[in-house]
């Protein structure tokens, strides 16, 4: 691909901004010279290595305060990030001209238009149960058994993946980590590094003292996934609006495939309501107030904690009466028939959201089974 000059890049961006400015509800740019050539150069220059790509904040973190209107794909959740000129114009240009930026993101590599692992050869290998199995040491996670399709080019000497967490979530997480022990920090980082590869992970044994740290790391990965999905939908919304404005009779871009038939994208399967209460805490620790508003928090604590007047026999028992792991598993509310939807926006977390309009589902096997049977 020929390298474009700064002049052609500037012309392309200004053209997109002028088209975007005519859209209803868009915020007008206060300065006609808002995009200097120097800033474009900074956005264009990204280093692709083990370190994170140096992309300016505008491209990754849309500004607050503006709304995306007149778009059939927007709903009451998907309009919470700014769709105004600079961010989406640049993202549209970057998607068109810089495939390397997308390739370096593990979310796009796994959930994008052309997933790296979704090939006919890989499917045939899985259907035929043809796996290559290797053993390796995975940091604080211990010895692991890695099973890959025989067609996979990944080896057991593959370097550790970069922890793929958005800066908005990563910075406060690292601040909380500074108060933990070095062993727990390393365990969380090894876990997040493995999850960033987007592989199925089965932890057969987690020490009791590490369960909270493990939950928080997995919850961070889930919140990061939901956030990336929302941003991708919003950016594609702007592309669709731009395409419809430019040529109303043309078919929409074929590479926009970012939603399924329903909205939920994370399922947390749990045995009891007490476990759901622990996972609620693990999720909301990454969405602290006053940055985030937690809706229906009191109701959730009331319905998933012990009912008023009920005594927890395990908590009242003499030390040594029950094994420690038994107490950790069965303390609190042990009702095993529940489901709850969690809806996340840029600034809020809503409990008890409508089932098919939420982002995260926490449910017991029984509660999920009864929900499925009710739909039949």
- Residue 37 CA to residue 288 CA, distance in Å, equals 37
Residue 234 domain flag: yes
164 in the same domain as 66: no
Name the DSSP letter for residue 27. P
Taking only the tens place, the pLDDT of each residue in 228-278 is 999 999 998 998 998 888 888 888 887 888 888 889 999 999 999 999 999
Q: Is 42's pLDDT higher than 70?
A: no
Structure tokens at 12: 């392309």
* Phi and psi torsions of 189, nearest 5°: -65, -40
Average pLDDT, the chain: 77
Residue 178 domain flag: yes
125 in the same domain as 88: no
31 in the same domain as 139: no
281 in the same domain as 171: no
124 in the same domain as 98: no
**Structural domain of residue 43, as residue ranges?**
6-104
Supply the pLDDT for residue 201: 93
Q: Is 21's pLDDT higher than 60?
A: no
Taking only the tens place, the pLDDT of each residue in 298-330 is 999 999 999 888 889 888 888 889 999 999 999
128 in the same domain as 85: no
133 in the same domain as 84: no
Please give the tally of structural domains in the chain.
3
> Which of 74, 104, 134 is at the close of a domain?
104
85 in the same domain as 188: no
80 in the same domain as 122: no
> Which of 223, 238, 253 is at the close of a domain?
238
- Residue 283 CA to residue 86 CA, distance in Å, equals 32
Query: What is the pTM for the complete model shown?
Result: 0.71
Supply the pLDDT for residue 48: 37
Residue 41 domain flag: yes
Smallest CA-to-CA distance from 81 within 102, 59, 104 is with 59
CA distances from 31 to 28, 36, 62, 341 (A): 9, 11, 18, 43
Residue 250 domain flag: no
Higher pLDDT, 159 or 98: 159
């Amino acid at each position: 691909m020929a390298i474009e000059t700064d002049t052609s890049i500037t012309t392309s961006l200004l053209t997109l901004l002028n088209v975007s400015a005519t859209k209803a509800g868009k915020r007008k740019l206060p300065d006609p010279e808002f995009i200097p050539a120097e800033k474009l150069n900074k956005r264009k220059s990204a280093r692709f290595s083990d370190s994170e790509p140096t992309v300016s904040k505008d491209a990754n973190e849309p500004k607050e305060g503006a709304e995306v209107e007149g778009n059939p794909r927007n709903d009451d959740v998907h309009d919470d990030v700014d769709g105004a000129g600079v961010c989406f114009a640049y993202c549209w240009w970057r998607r068109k001209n810089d495939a390397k930026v997308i390739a370096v993101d593990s979310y796009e590599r796994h959930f994008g238009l052309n997933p790296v692992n979704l090939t006919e050869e890989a499917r045939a290998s899985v259907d035929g149960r043809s796996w290559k199995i290797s053993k390796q040491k995975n940091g604080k996670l211990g010895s692991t058994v890695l099973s890959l399709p025989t067609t996979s080019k990944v080896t057991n000497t593959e370097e550790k993946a970069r922890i793929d967490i958005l800066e908005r979530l990563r910075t406060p997480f690292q601040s909380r980590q500074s108060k933990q022990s070095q062993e727990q920090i390393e365990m969380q980082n090894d876990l997040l590094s493995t999850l960033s590869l987007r592989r199925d992970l089965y932890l057969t044994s987690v020490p009791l003292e590490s369960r909270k740290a493990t939950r928080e790391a997995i919850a961070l990965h889930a919140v990061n996934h939901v956030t990336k999905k929302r941003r991708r939908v919003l950016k594609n919304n702007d592309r669709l609006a731009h395409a419809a404005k430019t040529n109303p009779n043309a078919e929409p871009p074929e590479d926009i495939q970012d939603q399924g038939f329903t909205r939920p994208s994370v399922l947390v399967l749990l045995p009891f309501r007490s476990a759901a209460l622990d996972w609620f805490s693990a999720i909301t620790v990454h969405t602290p107030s006053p940055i985030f508003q937690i809706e229906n928090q009191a109701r959730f604590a009331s319905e998933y904690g012990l009912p008023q007047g009920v005594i927890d026999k395990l908590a009242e028992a003499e030390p040594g009466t029950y094994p420690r792991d038994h107490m950790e598993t069965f303390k609190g509310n042990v009702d095993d028939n529940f489901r709850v939807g969690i809806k996340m926006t840029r600034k809020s977390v809503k409990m008890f959201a409508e089932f098919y309009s939420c982002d995260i589902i926490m449910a017991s096997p029984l509660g999920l089974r009864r929900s499925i049977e009710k739909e039949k």
